[in-house]
Amino acid sequence: MSPDAARQPREGKVKLALVQCRAAATKDENVARTLDRIGAAAAAGADIVCLAELFAGPYPCQAEDHRRFDDAEPIPGPTSRALAEAARRHAVVVIGSLFERRAAGLYHNTAAVYDVDGTTAGIYRKMHIPDDPLYYEKFYFTPGDLGFPAFDTQRGRIAVGVCWDQWFPEAARLSALAGAQIIVYPTAIGWLPGEKAEFGPSQHDAWQTVIRSHAIANGLFVAAVNRTGVEGGLEFWGASFAADPHGNLRALAGHAGEETLLVDCDLDQIDAVRTHWPFLRDRRIDAYEGLLRRFLD
């Protein structure tokens, strides 16, 4: 793709596949099953395949355990090379969230984007790192240092956020301003023990609502692909979904069970929506200095 062509937004329809997964015990089994599902999604017509957060193993952050650092890999490394080869073999864009060993003592939660020829379109390092019960990610991951880029691929211009990133409207807006047509969020979100009965429905509704609002406020396609199943003290709630630039749900998975959602995205819709709802045009960029402060005391 020439530089001039890369700067032009892709037009027409693409099919996005969201691979909702349940973790097996070993990395080899998880990776093998995932590669099979990438092939199946491609055979079903997918142009872009997005995997759930840290798909290659059980979610590692439920306790502060130094042994879990052994699961990390450099990028490129065995798992990322397998994803790149799957992208090349099936001529699809593949987005995978990986436990990256960047250097001794320096680890990230990193999403790699591979184009249809297996080349690296870019990597995104998770920017917002949570520290909550059973989500002790600050112990494992250094905050990202690459900002909120969008990556040119032969199937569209794609931005990535990872799980906790999906709650921040500033991140989605910066991805849109970088030219993203689709934002995907590899996710590992679920219910804590004892909370599901009282808070579960409202927690899930808040998650879906905030992501749909990113689609509306930025006039683009947004998708979240979640884990499913019980791991330790977490019940991952699945329910992967995609929303169009109007915020309409285009596809929705169930809470339990593995699924691959196929979502048609008409990229021509983005320009039409943004001309009717011109939020980007009417932004008061001269008046938002306060956003660079922690709080307006």
Catalytic residues: 53, 126, 163
219 Rama class: left (phi>0) / alpha (psi -120 to 50) / beta? left
Structure letter (DSSP) for residue 4: H
Contact criterion met (CB below 8 Å) for 148 and 174: yes
What is residue 37's DSSP assignment?
H
Dist CA 121 CA 196 (whole Å): 39
Strand ranges inside 115-204, DSSP E: 120-125, 150-153, 156-160, 182-187, 190-191
ω into residue 78 within 30 of 0, thus cis? no
SS3 labels along 184-251? EEEECCEECCCCHHHHHHHHHHHHHHHHHHHHHHHCCEEEEEEEEEEECCEEEECCCEEECCCCCEEE
CB 80 within 8 Å of CB 96 = yes
Inter-CA distances, 209 with 52, 204, 206, Å: 19, 9, 5
Instruction: Give the strand pairing for 190-191 and 221-226.
Output: unpaired
The amino acid at residue 228 is T
